[in-house]
Amino acid sequence: MARSLPPRPSLSAPPAATDAGQPGQIEGVDESTWMDVIQKMDEVYSQLVLDEIELEQKNTELEQSQQFIFSVLSAMSDVLLVCDEHGVIEETNAALRELVGRSDATLRGMLFHDLLADEASGESVRQVLANATPSRQGEAVELNLLDAQGQSVPVDANCTPRIAPNGRRVGTVFVGRPTAEIKRAFHELRTAHEALKRAQQQLLHSEKMASLGRLVAGVAHELNNPISFVLGNVHALSRYSDRLRTYLEAVHADEPPARLAEMRSKLRIEHLLNDLPSLIEGTLEGAQRTADIVNGLKRFSAMDPEARVPVLLNDVIERAIHWVSKGTAPSFEMKWTPGPPCTVTGSAGQLQQVLMNLLQNACDAAASRAGESPVLWIDTEQDGSRVRLRLRDNGPGIPSEHLTRIFDPFFTTKPVGKGTGLGLSISYGIVEQHGGTLSARNHPDGGAEFTLELPLTE
């Protein structure tokens, strides 16, 4: 509130003469002294005027500061609550009042403990304040506030004690942010992420099954050889068992030695006994070969993305070349000399899927070049803690405008019905999951070249 000083008295002349003295004089006071008094009064009055002006300025500054603080508190999206040393609420901002659905008049003077939805929140605050020191302030705490409808409202708050100049705690300041929407969004994000992972695994498995389907013809031929070999040996063993049974029955019947010798020669028992070990060995070998083929298919088709075991890269390359050559890929010439053994950690089936996809694409690309038979090159080299594999073909290469999109999902350069556009994208993801990189370029000597880098097993 502005105040005004009384009118300044006219002090330019000494007072009128008294009844007992001369004009301009007071009894016992000469004119010089009186002028000094007048000057002092003038100085005092001037100082009063200056003090009044300064007071008005400070009042204006105080009002501006209060308005500034009010504007800041009102504009804050975070909630603010200030209470005294007894836990009585002294100040709140609009964000907190809106959050709990209570007015400023209701909150002021209310105990902070009555605003908490559960005892756990109160215990958390007490622990934070008990550990607070002037050099250690601003501890985070999770609170559940109680709104006007009695619902719990979660808040992540920063709890800071108010310390007086003498070091005594005189209250507490809480600044926080509601977390209900954040937690809900996080839950939805996590749900979406899990759904995306499942979809990714389904795509991965679908592409793997597509690759597996391309091998059916080759697998049938691959299985036919050892199975035919086993069947032939089993038929021979069946005939041998009949001849042995006939001869052993004669021995059991105590036939004369001459008769037994005749039967031994007629039934070719000596040849039979000499041939049995090789028949059994061949049958076991054929059965083992069949089991190896089946196990290889099972390893390739298994969905176990989390399994990470030491894998010999040369073995993966060899199996991939074998299956692609037995599948529906065009016949091709493979130029690969296995390098020094190197071990990577990962899923053998997934790495085989990547190499089979790269080999199949290289065969298809090279076969599209009229007048030349497909030729593929593979070379590997170790570079410190990583191994680098390069696969090149003698095809027409990749159009430059497609190089930046070659690993995009559903992007394919093959005719409609010849490719899903997922093979390279899934291969890229598999390699990334193994801590490696997959890149493509056009080789200076022609054709496309894919480079696969993987970390070596420590």
Distance CA(83)–CA(81), nearest Å, equals 7
Distance of CA 159 to the CA centre of its chain: 31
CA nearest to 376, candidates 411, 330, 437: 330
φ, ψ for residue 136 (rounded to 5)? -130, 95
| pLDDT given at position 276 | 84
450 pairs with which residues across the strands? 391, 440
What is the identity of the amino acid at 337? T
Mean pLDDT for the chain?
Answer: 80
Tens-place pLDDT, residues 252-301 = 888 888 888 888 888 888 888 888 888 888 888 778 877 777 776 665 55
| pLDDT given at position 429 | 86
Distance CA(6)–CA(12), nearest Å, equals 17
Kind and range of the H or E element at 187? helix 180-214
Distance CA(410)–CA(419), nearest Å, equals 9
- 3-state SS track over 255-280: CCHHHHHHHHHHCCHHHHHHHHHHHH
Instruction: List the domains of the chain with CATH numbers.
Output: 76-178 (3.30.450.20), 216-300 (no CATH), 309-455 (3.30.565.10)
Q: Which residues of the chain have pLDDT under 70?
A: 1-29, 68-76, 132-138, 204-222, 225, 296-307, 327-330, 370, 410, 414-421
φ, ψ for residue 418 (rounded to 5)? -100, -10
Cβ contact 398:361 at 8 Å: no
Cβ contact 121:146 at 8 Å: no
Q: No. of H helices and E strands in the chain? A: 11, 12
Task: Write out the E strands in 125-266.
Answer: 139-146, 152-163, 169-178
- Cβ-based neighbour number of residue 214 at 10 Å: 16
- 3-state SS track over 53-104: HHHHHHHHHHHHHHHHHHHHHHHCCCEEEEEECCCEEEEECHHHHHHHCCCH
Cβ contact 358:427 at 8 Å: yes
Query: Is residue 11 helix, strand or coil?
Result: coil
